[in-house]
Amino acid sequence: MLKNIIIRSLILAGLLRSLVMCSQTMQMPAPDIDAFPQLSVQNDSIDIEIASMDIGIKVFGNIAITSYDITFYNPSNRVLEGELNFPLKANQEIVGFSMDVDGKLRKGVVVEKHRGRQVFETIVREGIDPGLIEKTSGNNFRARVYPIMANGTKRIVIRCQEILSIYNSDYIYQLPMGFQRVIKDFSIKAEVVKGHKKPSIITNDFTHLNFTKWEESFVAEARQKTIYASGLFAFLLPNAGKKEFGIRSDDGQYFYATAPIAMTSKNKEKVSHIHLLWDVSGSGSNRNSEKEIDLLSAYLKYHGDLKVSLTPFNHVKHPTSDFTIINGDISDLASAIKSLRYDGGSCLENIPFDEFNTGEILLFSDGLINFGELSIKQCKSPLNIINSSLKADHSLMEHLALSNKGTYIDLSVLALNDALVMLEKQQITAEADNMNDHTSDVIITLSPNKKHLVMTGKVHHEDALLAIKLYSGSNELERYEMEIPEEQSYHDIPVARIWASQRINVLLRNKQKHKNDIISLATRYGVVSDYTSLMVLERLEDYIRFEVEPPAEWKGEYTRIKKRKKDLQSSNKDDYTQTINTYIKDYKEWWNTTFPQSKRSPKGNTSFHVSDQMDLDVPITRQEENTPPPPPPPAETNIVSLIMIEDSDMEEEACDTPPVRSRGMQVYTNAIPWDSTATYMTEISKLKGSEAYPYYISVKEKHLNQPSFFLDIAAYLFKINRTKEGVTVITNIAELQLEDAEVLRVAGHKLIEQDQLETGILVFKKIKEIRPEELQSYRDLALALEKAGRHQDAVDLMIEALHQPELRANSGIKGILLNEINSLLNKHPQLIETTQLPDGWRYNMPVSIRIVLSWSTDHSDVDLWITEPGGEQCMYSNNRTCLGGRLSYDVTNGYGPEEYLIKSARQGRYKIQANYFGDRRPSITGPITLYAEIFENYGTMQQTSRQVVLQLKEQKQVIDLGEVRVD
């Protein structure tokens, strides 16, 4: 069973749900319980402790910077990788990441996202200290830390910046915290720099603080031993929102400013028909549906009597229901919404936005779209988007709303009354008036409640004047002018970086188009974005080796060594085609060789003999690999066996057994179903088929952090032919662990196995998007496309993969891809255009039997074993046999694949086994899943195949996957 037990040192669940920050009359949004980082270590019963935590808060005008200085303690005897996950609000971002390396904090540097992940995982395999903080989906972030030494500590510092929200005329700062265990050493310090009035602490649940005047600032601080830090610390900056605030960068070239606006736009015209789209994907359960319904009720009353069409959606669009609203009574509509179940992934592709011909469209969603394209067709009606979850893709939703004459309502930070006013009024927008050359590249946004302007840009004049135009719809309301102050004393505020971040937010509205511009800006100004991360490496040679720009103290030496290295590389440049040409030459030589040969395999180094037993096997060790072993003796370990083969059935067969065509071939595969001993599986198996899905819904909340739960339930639903429900359940995988390619890969293969090709393709597209550096991502998607009959797309993707660098030293995968390309070309010669493929890379070399093995997890070593008639075992140390068996390169540090081929199969049995040699994963995400496919007449029009999907139970295990019998 796939386990994924997440041990949280920073647990917030359930702690702040009932927290009321202030009286109901204030109507300020309560803080989200997930706003604080949560540490996960994916392993069995490992408890990471917090040795110390220092929190520092600095407020400058309406900008707050919060630093979390945390030291973790690993009480176990195993080195671990930690993963720190946290969502941020739309007005928050990461501005710094440092990690302790040899007792010294080292700052993170910006690196392209996929490159950062690739470098991190390469270095982890080598046991060197890396750290990485990356944006996952929406405004969610993940910090990966390695190593947390056995019985040792690891210190990290994360700095977050936010533009403070406004209540009336006050800025409000909120720090939610929740810990179930003691923090041994805890401190907190809050400073309001150059504050005009003493801040007012409105909530102080876990420590004793009071602001006092210190020089030009107000400071509150406390230190405490053995504290349970749970609850909320929040304070107001009285009347600060009534004033303009502005600042320039230290060099005077950038500015940031904010100013209140006292104006409202006209009411919108009332409509008679609204189309309501309601996101019921799994992450929808994080939304505050009651607050959303309250807003909907108030807004429909504004329109009076009207028709509402309700369309729920998750990974698919559900049927539409129509409701007639009379005198503002939405009781039937509210009941229908409350009865909706939040389950499955999320996709917008299948919603016909351009066909909705209603007065208005309301989309209630967090914008966390797992599958399909993120863009939508232009709406005929205004599109307003409402979200109440902190975990959201704010940029996407704002873009979709603005590009369709609507507005984005963020209920996670807005009071209900403010949100209602924004829906009822015409949209207010602002733009800079380029009346002079004082400024350039100005970006103007409005605060979530549309009551404040937020401005940033470049300054070209000492006495710069900024002119702003305000619009209601297409009508200009007012022209506003503001002098940009010369204030430059807030040295801790990265003004240039704020400008770059705001510029990136604008570009993110169409991020695919502006990807290169986003990367360029983020790299130059140090921004964590959809395409860039912050990385810490241990040694200067690591920065040089992976061409990652180092921190300031190493830049000079880095530049000098890099130049010398570049000169050397240019003189020894290797053509990537050499590896492929070498493979083709070797493959053609093998295919054209006459078999059988002598009883010594052509590339082996010892003889073989027939075994008396073939049923149960034990794994071999790498120390034995110099000698190709005979089939192993009976195993003492627990294995999965497909077909029990009696000793009397086994016949000794020599290498001169005549070849046969595969028309007399039979394939037997392991038919043991997906196995789980979990309690929920015992319970669900007792129920009727129609009761299975409701039972799953009833226990889902208990297992939200266990991918194995969703895989187990989906497998069971598939088994009892509840396929539609099974697909919904398994697509939850995309909702659980953002950008977890290993778990997604398991789900994708399971969908393909169930012939759910289009959904499976969406999953593999997602994997390729988040793991573009892995050739396996290309191959998985291409094979899914092939199964769906999209042969040209499959070949194009495989050819694209051949041109990518192979970073895992798994050169064999390109040879396997070439075989798969040529198989497609030979089966469909009239349907596929191949001008991209060099003539020398095309061949027609079919084989009788082809067996391919891959697996789900990285840092793992699984070996494909084939025992041929006569008893010779084809394996990594004996990869050519006298009967003509050929095994691809041994993959020891990735996902596979490994491939066995035999051109002309001889009579007898070909036993297929997998040797789970072991893994070196620093974080244990659960057992490995194997995928084996057995082909007959591969590369011909008569090609057929069968697939085996099995989950491993333990390391050092040999599994019988099946056998091919040739009569």
Please write the tens of the pLDDT for every residue from 692-709: 999 999 999 988 878 889
Alpha-carbon distance 895 to 897, whole Å? 6
Assign 564 to helix, strand or coil.
helix
3-state helix, strand, coil in the chain (%, to 5): 25, 30, 40
d(CA 178, CA 10): 6
Q: Is 721 left (phi over 0), alpha (psi -120 to 50) or beta?
A: left
Query: Please, are residues 883 and 908 in contact by the beta-carbon 8 Å criterion?
Result: no
Q: Which residue has the higher pLDDT, 364 or 70?
A: 364
pLDDT score, position 770: 83
φ, ψ at 359 (rounded to 5°):
-65, -30
DSSP state of 193: E
- DSSP one-letter code for 318: P
For 63-67, 711-715, 834-838, which range has the lowest pLDDT when averaged over its residues? 834-838
Q: What is the pLDDT of residue 91?
A: 81
Query: Could you tell me the two tokens for 598?
Result: 């002598």
User: Degrees (nearest 5) of the Cα angle 961, 963, 964?
Assistant: 145
- Run of H or E residues at 90: none
Mean pLDDT of 470-499: 80
How do residues 248-294 score in pLDDT, each as one tens digit?
A: 888 889 999 888 887 677 888 999 999 999 999 999 998 999 999 99
Rounded to the nearest integer, the mean pLDDT of the chain is 81
Nearest-CA neighbor of 378 among 349, 400, 409? 400
Q: What is the dihedral of CA 953, 957, 960, 961, to 10 degrees?
A: 60
Question: Is the confidence at residue 586, as pLDDT, over 50?
Answer: yes
Pairwise CA distance, residues 707 & 42, whole Å = 12
Q: What is the pLDDT of residue 647?
A: 32
**pLDDT confidence of residue 604:** 37
| Residues 879, 924 contacting (CB under 8 angstroms) | no
Phi-psi sector, 961: left (phi>0), alpha (psi -120 to 50), beta: alpha
As a whole number, mean pLDDT of residues 357-379 equals: 89
Question: Phi first, then psi: what are they for 571, rounded to 5°?
Answer: -85, -10
pLDDT digits (tens, 9 = 90+) for 9-19: 222 222 222 22
Beta strands 306-313 and 273-279: pairing type? parallel
Distance CA 284, CA 204 (A): 31
Helix 775-787 / helix 812-827 crossing angle, nearest 10 deg:
20
Closest by CA position to 738, among listed 137, 6, 135: 137
Helices 741-753 and 757-770 meet at what angle, rounded to 10? Answer: 160
Residue 908 · residue 651 · CB < 8 Å: yes
Nearest alpha carbon to residue 781 among 809, 813, 745: 745
Choose the weakest-confidence range: 180-184, 607-611, 889-893.
Answer: 607-611
Using 50, 70 and 90 to split pLDDT, how confident is the model at 657?
A: very low
Contact between residue 235 and residue 202 where contact means Cβ atoms under 8 Å apart: yes
Phi, psi of 752 (to 5 degrees): -65, -40
Mean pLDDT of 404-420: 89
Roughly how many angstroms between the first and final C-alpha of the chain, as a whole number?
A: 37
* CA-derived radius of gyration, the chain: 31
Q: CA-to-CA distance for 426 and 410, rounded, in angstroms?
A: 17
For residue 156, count CB atoms less than 10 angstroms from its CB and return exposed for 0-12, middle for 13-18, buried for 19 or more.
buried
The pTM assigned to this predicted structure is 0.78
pLDDT above 80: residue 497: yes
pLDDT band at 901 (very low <50, low <70, confident <90, very high): very high
Show Cβ contacts of residue 936 under 8 Å, excluding neighbours closer than 6 positions.
662, 665, 667, 848, 849, 942, 943, 944, 945, 964
Amino acid of residue 846: P
Angle between helices 495-507 and 515-525 (to 10 degrees): 170
